[in-house]
Structure 1
Amino acid sequence: MGKRDAAILDILNVERKVEVRSLAARLGVSTVTMRKDLDALAAQGIVEREHGFALLGNPDNVKGRLARHYEKKLAIARSAAQLVHDGDTVLIENGSCCALLALTLAETRRNITMVTNSTFIANYLPKSSKANIVLLGGIYQASSQVTVGAMVKACVKDFFVPLMFIGADGWISGKSFTNADHLRAEAVRDMARQAEQVIVLTESEKFFVRGVVPLHVEDKISVVVTDDGIPQKAHSQLKGSGAKIVFAQGEAS
């Protein structure tokens, strides 16, 4: 992503909806160039287009969250992708970092299979992708674009994989990563039982958010991929529990 794309997202993250002509004037380019930039961002699912305007999606769903700290999330996703090899089968839960991980794997790995309960991820990958996607059945939760419930638990029992990748909505110090939704948290736990290790992908700002529903998968977490803004207390607690901390643009800790 170029500097102008990043500047576009900075403006949209503040104003949510901006006229194309205004964006072009602020960034010193023609409206034709700005439309091309916005079309490219829209093709990646990062922004939405409306006649004469650019806007961000609903911040409560994955597409709307993709634009927030996009470059940081992409760096986290690319770092996590280094743990996956050609021919692997992995579990991936919903979330913006996880969606970018799925896209990275689809673009860079051969014969990769991703098992997920995220309908967003299943639809986010380009039609030309040769990645294998297994979508777990269940009750469709439209607000977060995932399947949840007893059927997820039943379907995922057909798999046992080395790695599962999850996101997090928050953190309870000394206890657990958290989710904002009880049914989604339950689905994460059911999926995590079918993985040898759980990898957490999250921006450091989530460590400053006290979540509502603990995930309770601490015994499976082997790696946390984040940025270098993680608070020292959380860093120490995670290392003390045996988890490896990987900074997206730095050395492993």
Structure 2
Amino acid sequence: MSRVEEIISIVSENKKIEVNELAELLQVSRVTIRKDLDKLEARGILHRQHGFAVLNNQDDINYRLAINYDLKRKIAKEAAKLVKDGETVMIESGSTCTLLAVELAHHKRDVTIITNSNFIASYIRKAESVKILLIGGEYQKDSQVNVGPLVKKVISDFHVDKLFVGIDGFDEQRGFTGSDITRSDTANTMMTSADNTIVLTDSSKFSQVGVVSEFAFEDISKVYTDSRIAKEKVKFLEKQGIKVVTV
């Protein structure tokens, strides 16, 4: 774990921590810790207030992107192998999905990405090798995603082979779960416009349960995750007919 990731972990656990205490915990100088905090503040993950480092909204996409970043990037690299040059794919919002879009932008040619994520569209806006079709709707500012009836109406006019999605949790009775009912409903509609729905998630999500049921097991063809996923979870998913790819 990098020092920046350690800072994110500590601040996430405490919500608010004194900058000097943070420097002592990580055994670095105050100058070094302030430079690290400058970077995290610029990325929208936290802010400083009267000598404290304070966590921003955990639903903010910048925060979620920073958590387990290296693992998510490996997952995205592996999942990108599924996409061919010239293909049109659908990518739902989420941190690992964002990194997949980056991989496609950097290493594929003439790929079209249909997405409801303003964050993804902005993140890869300078890439000339991909075309972005951004679906509009009700805007959720923290996650920078469009949801609701308009998105669902427009999505129904498309059909693709592959939809890539993220999840917020997992439950053996309820399937894959989300944390926002409107976002989950939108993602579920996107699923009906794809032949294959592929989950991209780091293994931590298999220890969490979201408040909303998002996808049934039969809806998902593949799961891309990291090797820290528990073996019993892999066996369970495979029994449901889902191929699990670990990195």
Question: TM-score with structure 1 length normalisation?
Answer: 0.81
Q: Which amino acid aligns with 2:114?
A: V
Q: How does 1:1-253 map to 2 (within 5 A)?
A: 6-15=2-11, 45=43, 57-248=56-247
Task: Please give the alpha-carbon distance, in whole angstroms, between the structure 1 residues aligned to 2:74 and 2:123.
Answer: 18
| Matching residue's letter, 2:130 | A
Matched position secondary structure for 2:59: coil
Deviates more, 1:70-79 or 1:231-240: 231-240
Q: Displacement, 1:173? A: 1.1
Count how many residue pairs are aligned between Structure 1 and Structure 2. 241
Structure 1 residue 195: Cα displacement: 0.4
1:229 Cα deviation after fit:
2.1
- Specify whether residues 27 and 105 from structure 1 end up closer, same or farther in structure 2 by C-alpha distance, changes over 3 A only: farther
Q: Deviations over 1:56-106 (max 9, x none)?
A: 653212111111111111111111111111111111111111111111111
Q: Structure 2 counterpart of 1:10, which letter?
A: E
2 CA distance for matches of 1:18 and 1:82?
A: 43
Q: Tell whether the 8 Å contact from 1:198 to 1:223 is kept in structure 2 after alignment.
A: yes
Deviation of the 1:15 alpha carbon? 3.1
Percentage of identical aligned residues: 39
User: Is this contact kept in 1: 2:76–2:99, CA < 8 A?
Assistant: yes
Structure 1 contact 176–216 (Cα < 8 Å) conserved:
yes
Which string of whole-angstrom CA distances, capped at 9 and with x for unpartnered residues, describes residues 132-153 of structure 1? Answer: 1111121112232211111111
Structure 2 Cα separation of the partners of residues 27 and 124 of structure 1: 34
Query: Which amino acid counterpart does residue 113 of structure 1 have in structure 2?
Result: T
Contact 1:91-1:164 at 8 Å conserved across structures: yes
Residue 208 of structure 2 aligns to which amino acid in structure 1?
V
Deviation at 1:49? Answer: 8.0
Rounded Cα–Cα distance in structure 2 between residues aligned with 1:138 and 1:83: 29
User: Residue 251 of structure 1 aligns with which residue?
Assistant: none
Q: What TM-score comes out, normalization by structure 2 length? A: 0.83
**Structure 1 contact 120–145 (Cα < 8 Å) conserved:** yes
Cα RMSD (Å): 3.1
Letter in 2 for 1:12: I
CA contact (8 A) 1:12 1:18 kept: no
Unaligned segments of structure 1, at least 5 residues: 249-253
| Distance in 2 between residues matched to 1:186 and 1:62, nearest whole Å | 19
CA contact under 8 A between 1:163 and 1:196: conserved in structure 2? yes
Q: In structure 1, how many angstroms separate the alpha carbons of the residues matched to 2:217 and 2:107?
A: 29
Q: Which portions of structure 1, spanning 4 or more consecutive aligned residues, are displaced by more than 4 angstroms?
A: 16-20, 26-32, 37-43, 45-57
CA contact (8 A) 1:56 1:67 kept: no
- Describe the shift of the 1:40–1:175 C-alpha distance in structure 2 as closer, same or farther (beyond 3 A): same
- SS of the residue corresponding to residue 215 of structure 1 reads strand
